[in-house]
Structure 1
Amino acid sequence: MKILIVEDEQDLRDVMTSFLERELYVVEVATDYESGLAKIASYSYDCILLDVMLPGGSGMKLLRKLRELNKGDSVIIVSAKDSVEDKVQGLELGADDYLAKPFHLSELLARIKTIIRRNSRHSVQDAALVFKNVRLYPEDRKLLVNETEVFLNRKEYDLLYYFMIRPEKLVPKTSLAEAVWGDDADQSDSLDFIYSQIKNLRKKLKDSQAAIDFQAVYGVGYKLI
Structure 2
Amino acid sequence: MKILVIEDEPDMLDNIVSSLRKEQYVVEEAANYHEALDKIGAYDYDCILLDINLPGGNGLHLLADLKKNKKSDGVIIVSARNSLDDKVAGLELGADDYLAKPFHIAELHARVKSVLRRRIFEGSNLIQIQNLTLDPDKHQVWVNNQELTLNRKEYDILLYLVTNKGRLVSKTALAEHVWGDYIDEADNFEFIYSQIKNLRKKLKDHHAAVEIGAIYGIGYKLTSP
Normalised TM-score (structure 2) = 0.93
**What is the match of residue 101 of structure 1?**
101
Alignment partners' CA distance in 1, 2:97 and 2:120: 16
2:214 is the counterpart of 1:216: yes
Where does structure 2 lack aligned partners over 5 or more consecutive residues?
A: none
AA matched with 2:130:
K
Where does structure 1 lack aligned partners over 5 or more consecutive residues?
A: none
Sequence identity of aligned pairs in percent?
A: 55
Asked if 2 retains the 8 angstrom alpha-carbon contact of 1:156 and 1:197, the reply is: yes
**What is the match of residue 74 of structure 2?**
74
Alignment partners' CA distance in 1, 2:186 and 2:166: 27
**What is the match of residue 59 of structure 2?**
59
Alignment partners' CA distance in 2, 1:168 and 1:141: 22
**What is the match of residue 120 of structure 1?**
120
**What is the match of residue 45 of structure 2?**
45
**What is the match of residue 152 of structure 2?**
154
Say how many residue pairs are matched. Answer: 223
Alignment partners' CA distance in 2, 1:117 and 1:130: 13
AA matched with 1:179:
H
Asked if 2 retains the 8 angstrom alpha-carbon contact of 1:131 and 1:167, the reply is: no
**What is the match of residue 140 of structure 2?**
142
**What is the match of residue 167 of structure 2?**
169
Superposed CA deviations along residues 119-145 of structure 1, whole A, max 9, x for unmatched, are: 225342xx4333333222223322111
Secondary structure of the 1:219 match is coil
Alignment partners' CA distance in 2, 1:88 and 1:133: 43
Alignment partners' CA distance in 2, 1:172 and 1:22: 27
Secondary structure of the 1:215 match is strand
| CA shift for structure 1 position 29 | 0.6
| CA shift for structure 1 position 88 | 1.3
Alignment partners' CA distance in 1, 2:18 and 2:72: 25
Superposed CA deviations along residues 97-119 of structure 1, whole A, max 9, x for unmatched, are: 11111111001111111111122
Secondary structure of the 1:206 match is helix
Secondary structure of the 1:167 match is coil
**What is the match of residue 83 of structure 1?**
83
Alignment partners' CA distance in 2, 1:145 and 1:63: 39
Secondary structure of the 1:183 match is helix
AA matched with 1:63:
L
RMSD of the alignment, in Å?
1.5
Alignment partners' CA distance in 1, 2:52 and 2:106: 21
AA matched with 1:174:
T
**What is the match of residue 28 of structure 1?**
28
| CA shift for structure 1 position 161 | 0.9
Normalised TM-score (structure 1) = 0.93
AA matched with 2:201:
K
Asked if 2 retains the 8 angstrom alpha-carbon contact of 1:130 and 1:164, the reply is: no
**What is the match of residue 11 of structure 1?**
11
Alignment partners' CA distance in 2, 1:139 and 1:156: 16
**What is the match of residue 111 of structure 2?**
111
**What is the match of residue 180 of structure 2?**
182
Q: How has the CA–CA distance of structure 1 residues 54 and 171 changed in structure 2, closer, same or farther, with 3 Å as cutoff?
A: same
